[in-house]
């Protein structure tokens, strides 16, 4: 089972369905720019790993989870486009390339993000192959993006006079990890409840790792502008906890995430995935400097 290929093929199908040789060419180019080549596809991989842990083995078994995984990645990439806009982070670099509004202009960046939100729900309903699970999957995934607890709410907290760090991180990053994990279970018709805790810890870990990287790494290694949180007076775990404190909390969250994998056939696999993610997340330079 090649989950990388599942994800890339599902995203490619989504773009082809959005194009059909009839869409405005620059819009499709902007969408492709945002989607390919991807980052580590952490969220869709998590979704498929949970589906595997819940018993998916064949291509057919995986199909509803693949639809959910593609929707999650489309929404994640859409949020990055809008988050990079001049009225938010004004970031000119993303994954080592010009961000979408730099490459295609602000109007097409807004529209590409909008299109990808719509494509996410379209992909889910088209590829789900399990109509009885579509309502639950839509609710899980919409909840991770919309208010009150999703990414959009997280970004909107930045416009409020007071902002609570853990609530902010849970919305801006954690919600999508929780959705990816619980959607993997719901796609298999399994109970999603036991998977919340793992998604939650992993999302928090990912956000803290991102804060650490924003603080310590250079733009070249990061593939996007460094020091953005300080530049935008954005809450950052390193501010609150110090560098050593943030690193300790990252380690604790990774352990918690691995510990909260429910008992199931694929549990060991999934714990290994969590630790593999952790090694990828922790900036090597930092580990050396703290050693």
* Residue numbers at the binding site for a second copy (CB under 8 A): 18-28, 31, 78, 82, 85, 87-88, 104-108, 110-111, 113-115, 117-119, 121-122, 124-126, 128, 131-132, 134-135, 138-139, 142-143, 145-150, 152-153, 155-160
Q: Is the peptide bond before 37 cis (omega within 30 degrees of 0)?
A: yes
User: In angstroms, what is the minimal distance from the CB of 271 to a second copy?
Assistant: 32
Nearer to a second copy, 113 or 203 (CB): 113
Nearer to a second copy, 115 or 205 (CB): 115
Q: Is the peptide bond before 140 cis (omega within 30 degrees of 0)?
A: no
User: In angstroms, what is the minimal distance from the CB of 243 to a second copy?
Assistant: 29
User: In angstroms, what is the minimal distance from the CB of 20 to a second copy?
Assistant: 5
User: In angstroms, what is the minimal distance from the CB of 273 to a second copy?
Assistant: 28
Nearer to a second copy, 126 or 244 (CB): 126
Nearer to a second copy, 23 or 197 (CB): 23
User: In angstroms, what is the minimal distance from the CB of 78 to a second copy?
Assistant: 8
Nearer to a second copy, 24 or 242 (CB): 24
């Amino acid at each position: 089972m090649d989950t990388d290929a599942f994800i890339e093929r599902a995203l490619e199908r989504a773009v082809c369905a959005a194009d059909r040789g009839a869409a405005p060419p620059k819009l499709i180019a902007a969408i492709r720019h945002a989607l390919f080549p991807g980052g580590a596809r952490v969220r869709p991989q998590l979704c498929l790993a949970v589906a595997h842990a819940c018993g998916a083995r064949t291509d057919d078994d995986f199909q509803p989870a693949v639809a959910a995984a593609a929707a999650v990645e489309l929404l994640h990439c859409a949020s990055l486009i809008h988050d990079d806009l001049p009225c938010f982070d004004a970031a000119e670099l993303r994954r080592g390339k010009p961000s979408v509004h730099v490459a295609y202009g602000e109007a097409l960046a807004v529209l590409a993000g909008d299109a990808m939100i719509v494509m996410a729900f379209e992909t889910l309903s088209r590829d789900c192959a399990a109509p009885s699970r579509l309502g639950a999957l839509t609710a899980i995934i919409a909840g991770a993006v919309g208010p009150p607890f999703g990414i959009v709410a997280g970004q909107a907290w930045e416009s409020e006079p007071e902002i609570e760090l853990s609530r902010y991180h849970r919305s801006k990053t954690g919600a999508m990890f929780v959705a990816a994990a619980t959607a993997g279970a719901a796609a298999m018709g399994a109970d999603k409840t036991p998977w919340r805790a793992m998604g939650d810890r992993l999302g928090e870990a990912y956000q803290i790792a991102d804060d650490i990287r924003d603080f310590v790494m250079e733009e070249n290694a990061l593939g996007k502008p460094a020091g953005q949180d300080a530049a935008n007076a954005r809450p950052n775990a390193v501010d609150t906890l110090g560098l050593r404190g943030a690193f300790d909390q990252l380690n604790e969250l990774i352990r918690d995430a691995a510990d909260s994998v429910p008992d199931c056939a694929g549990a060991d696999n999934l714990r290994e995935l969590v630790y593999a993610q952790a090694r990828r997340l922790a900036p090597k330079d930092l580990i050396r400097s703290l050693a």
